[in-house]
Amino acid sequence: MSNTLEPTKYQDWQIAAAAETGMKPVSHLGAELGLQSDELIPFGRALARVDYQRVLGRLSQPGSGKYIDVTAITPTPLGEGKTTTTIGLLQGLGRLGHRVCGALRQPSGGPTFNIKGSAAGGGRAQCIPLAPFSLGLTGDIDRVTNAHNLAMTALTSRMQHEANYDDATLTRRGLRRLNIDPDRVCLKWAIDFCAQSLRNIVIGRGGRMDGLEMASGFQISVSSELMAILAVARDLEDMRGRIGRIVVAADHDGNPITTTDLEVAGAMAAWLIEALNPTLMQTIEGQPVLVHAGPFANIAIGQSSIIADQIGTMLTDYHVTESGFGADIGFEKFWNLKCRYSGMRPDAVVVVATIRALKMHGGGLPVKPGARLPEEYRRENLGLLEKGCENLLAHLAIVRASGAEPVVCINAFSDDTAAEINLLRRVVGSEGAVCVHSEHWRKGGEGAIELAEAVIAAANRENSFKFLYELDMPLRQRIELIVKQIYGGAGVDYSETARARLAELEKDPEVSKMGVCMVKTHLSLSHDPNLAGRPVGWRLPVRDILVYRGAGLVVPVAGDIKLLPGTSSNPAFRRIDVDVKTGKVTGLF
């Protein structure tokens, strides 16, 4: 496979395009992973879905492969490189002769065409083919969007019919009156773009045949409860049952209205049957990667799927999965939600940081995407770096609190100095952890050998993994525990809406079976994106509490976070195009 382009001279999409000329056929890739031919559902030459039912049915026993999670420090505009590190680690483990597999989340169209770009990694540590990966892949997000909007279609049409017809007419049409309260609709429409103008809209304008006029809005598709269900579902029966428990609204007496009440749950499940099968791709160096479920751990669960992780640990020596954003958000949800649902336990956890990002957490000048990088990030500054290490140590402490074994990976840049690297090794070493300066972005698997060796050593040590809380702990205490022990806050302040909702939920016996899925900014350990480093003395303002009964999640919403991000003034789509002679997509990053 071609892997000769120098990352300092070529853009990511050019490196990916060069590597794609030597990709393994997906049938070859599947055979190397240990899949049988009838367990692959081809999607062209380079992609295939994996028939999870056949694979899990054939193997049946829990996987014995080592289970590795990749998380990071608090994100900055400089980028930390979780996906790049995940892929680099896979390539490094492959270079050492181990059978490996990775699990990544499918990129959302919102960030792909906005500031962040795709989520395929970078340099010589990428997942390919890049264009399909970035532009819809095998259609999972489209299926989630359609299934979600089908629920909204069922809801709004039922509301219109109930407004226009009496009980006798509804009965003749095979319907019972649900008495839905337009002010208690808790679902929005879904779209996979960052379209801020659709956050708050009015629908049903016109006449009586144009629907019921009411306030509505959109959320980004990957924040849908259906995406969380896709991440945690163990099989079709489990997914179908969860879809039927989704609450879309309440009636005038406050009773929940579910997709089962609307008789739409079965049709929604029909949209998602194929989406239960992960998509098989490969790294630039030919290691298999399963792509399944979606991103955005700040407003969703943000994890690759349980199904993908089960397949990976069953078929390989080392399976590397990825959690969204920092350890306070992505790893906390991996730890207390995903691992609880799956019964799987991590053997090691990689915490990714960059020296540049740590300098920003230490008080470096703000960085805006597309603007020139201030000189303090390009030259040695041990004072800024040492101060910024407080953020790294906070995330290290979060991982340690789970009992898992952490490895700190410094994702290398060319202007990192020996003194800065030594400072980080000393600080991390004082906490009893290993710190590796890894050059996978520039050198691929060769540059990740030391990282791979450190992860192997960590994964083969005993750990004492345990959950932060048990589900019988009162909801209020669970929220407070996350705020104090994970975020480092002083406590929680509830709005009147959230306080009333909390009192209502504490009387609900079903809540005792649900995990807590916090919604807060990913840009700070706190609720305030402007507070870098390791802020202290702050309190988390919870403005609302949502309940995802299908996914089994109670969702406290903190601060002013939006479920539909906005598009910037300099979005990535301005640089994406196609070569009209070859049909190749250019400009993806």
Residues forming the active site: 82, 84, 105, 116, 297, 325, 413, 441
177: buried, middle or exposed (CB in 10 Å: 19+, 13-18, 0-12)?
A: middle
Task: Kindly provide the residue ranges of all beta strands, DSSP E only, lying in 264-340, ordered along the sequence.
Answer: 279-283, 288-291, 318-322
CA distance 409 to 72: 9
CA distance 506 to 489: 23
| 557 three-class SS | strand
CB 242 within 8 A of CB 113: no
CB 269 within 8 A of CB 238: no
Residue 272 DSSP class:
H
Query: Which contiguous run of DSSP H or E holds residue 195?
Result: none
| 366 three-class SS | coil
Chain position carrying tokens 């995407």 = 369
CA distance 305 to 322: 10
Chain position carrying tokens 């190397």 = 32
369: buried, middle or exposed (CB in 10 Å: 19+, 13-18, 0-12)?
A: middle
CA distance 373 to 53: 49
CB 396 within 8 A of CB 525: no
Q: Is the backbone peptide bond immediately before 129 cis, with ω within 30 degrees of 0?
A: yes
Comparing CA positions, the residue from 132, 121, 122 lying closest to residue 47 is 132
